[in-house]
Structure 1
């Protein structure tokens, strides 16, 4: 919990500095404003510096506490991921924007759908008639996806085998290790670097991504 408080404290200080001296912004009623950390979807466990948070910690609650500590008169109305934030930002500038795609460390997509066309929605329809769908398409898998032997091996050795298959095919988090695996096979079977195999080629995720 102390690590989470420290990280959120840094965020709050930055937010406070940004709004210092500015007029107070009107906020709508709170919605979607509670969330606990469920699990890590990417294999970030391979780098201990990333894993400072504990599953089950309520990020919004702790962020609110951190803002209160420094007297920042703000509250969390909604917790959204980068994909929803990208779509919201696009629609802020152009109402014709209907979709957003993230291609970075991970991948995801979101789009605006007619609320009355969503079978799972049983609540009152929004006044706008539309609703944002967070696809989480990184978890898409199909027998039609062109999995190579390197993709299969990477998935089997990941922290979440069988999950986030599409993510592991195209995301920056995994591309470096797919290249490493292909190079290692070339070195072992075709003497790509002569008679010796560079030891680092056997180290998972030694080739870092750049996003």
Structure 2
């Protein structure tokens, strides 16, 4: 992994498209046709038709696939309310996207597909030699980790020549972290309510506790409970809060940014988003309670994410040591020793995502918990584990994967 300067990365054009609830409901090719139209829109801004064949594409995909090759993977179920995979399960994602683009008159060749967490790792490693993890924490959560090949069952690599298995030393693993924790993570009665009302309650249990799509919903259930049991908002629920997912994490984030004694900004924002049926603004005590609740929910999220990062760091240390003991290939042993040397000095966790980037104090709290866990180890075993931003990682990570072919 060779470090490069950020100045060598040039984005010719970029755009963002808000995913509305209506778009999430699109099934099968309807969603991918919409996606192909957006790809055509952005390509048309910079493409001079100088290429003679299909346009090579690198893609960062934020949902589970069973990856069978660098350019393809079997589509799996999608979380966060998306329905696109419902009619396309077990079909190849690369083929789906190529077909959708061709239907819009755009010939593309999907040459590299990486998970968004792997993209964060790749984009971070392009700049920082010590990057060994990629963390995405926005609407959802995931972590990618750089591990010895032998840590993963060989059937996971699909059909590859024996020479590849002999030569390959390490691989980037998409952990799908959000799917862990069922029956293990401590949950509150508000978490239980969220799961009871979720179409896939056991699909992504850790994600339900830590990610931006769900933090507001956990807070909403707690507020409803507080209205009934503690007289919050005078014992009257604002009607808007009765709708599922009506309290979004962005609102809580903006409220927590208000550090003034009277919380006027937070109070005004909440009243605008969720006015009381009587028209009377919430009291200062009401808003303090909501802000305190939001802070505790965010701190819990940060602590669980930090513990996950550290647990995977410890897994990597163990895997590298086992690789040294078991490897019969000298270069593999040397690679594992080099990895341990990095881990004992400094490990970079490249991150992106709206929650860890923009939620007040989240990053600092997450880093503090990681530091606390790392300091509990003997000084010879653990170096620093640093959270470092990976800007535009979905774009740049996909490009790094494509350029590495």
Q: Decide: shared fold, TM above 0.5.
A: yes
For residues 146 and 46 of structure 2, the distance between their equivalents in structure 1, rounded to whole angstroms, comes to: 30
Instruction: Tell me: CA distance 1:130–1:182, structure 2 relative to 1, closer, same or farther (3 Å).
Output: same
Q: CA RMSD in A?
A: 3.0
1:32 aligns with 2:64: no
Matched, 1:20 2:48: yes
Q: 1:153 Cα deviation (Å)?
A: 1.3
SS for the counterpart of 1:132 is strand
Cα offsets for 1:68-117 (capped at 9, x unmatched): 45454x4112222211111111122233211111111000101111113x
Task: Give the secondary structure class of the aligned counterpart of 2:134.
Answer: strand
- Which of 62, 65, 71 does residue 96 from structure 2 map onto? 62
Q: Which residue of 2 aligns with 1:110?
A: 144
Of Structure 1 and Structure 2, the greater strand share is in 2
In the superposition, relative to structure 1, how do residues 12 and 94 fare at CA in structure 2: closer, same or farther (>3 Å)? farther
CA drift of 1:4 comes to 2.4
146 and 61 in structure 1: CA distance in 2 versus 1, 3 angstrom threshold: same
Larger radius of gyration: 2
**Larger RCO (CA within 8 A; separation ≥ 6):** 2
Question: Does the residue aligned with 2:207 lie in a helix, a strand or coil?
Answer: helix
Secondary structure in structure 1 of the residue aligned to 2:121: helix
Report the counterpart of residue 153 of structure 2 in structure 1.
120
Gaps of 5+ in 2: 1-28, 59-67, 251-353, 355-405
The runs of at least 4 aligned residues of structure 1 exceeding 6 Å deviation read 21-28
Segments of 5+ residues of structure 1 without an aligned counterpart are 45-49
Range with greater deviation from structure 2 (134-143 or 120-129): 120-129
The equivalent of 1:47 in structure 2 is none
Q: Which has the higher helix share?
A: 2
* 1:1-211 equivalence runs, <5 A: 1-20=29-48, 31-42=69-80, 44=81, 51=83, 54-56=86-88, 58-68=92-102, 70=105, 72=107, 74-116=108-150, 118-121=151-154, 124-125=164-165, 127=167, 129-141=169-181, 143-210=183-250, 211=354
SS of residue paired to 1:76:
strand
Structure 1 SS opposite 2:236: coil
With over 3 angstroms needed to count, the CA separation of the structure-2 counterparts of 1:99 and 1:12, relative to structure 1, is: same
Per-residue CA deviations over 1:104-151 (Å, capped at 9, x if unaligned) read 1000101111113x1512664374511011111101115552211111
**Quick one: structure 1 residues 16 and 61, their matched pair in 2 at CA, closer, same or farther if it must change by over 3 Å?**
farther
Q: Could you tell me how far 1:177 is from its partner in structure 2?
A: 0.6
Distance 2:232 2:85 in 1: 41
C-alpha change, 1:120 and 1:31, in structure 2 (3 Å) is closer
> Please, what TM-score do these two structures have when normalized by structure 1?
0.80
**TM-score scaled by length of structure 2:** 0.44
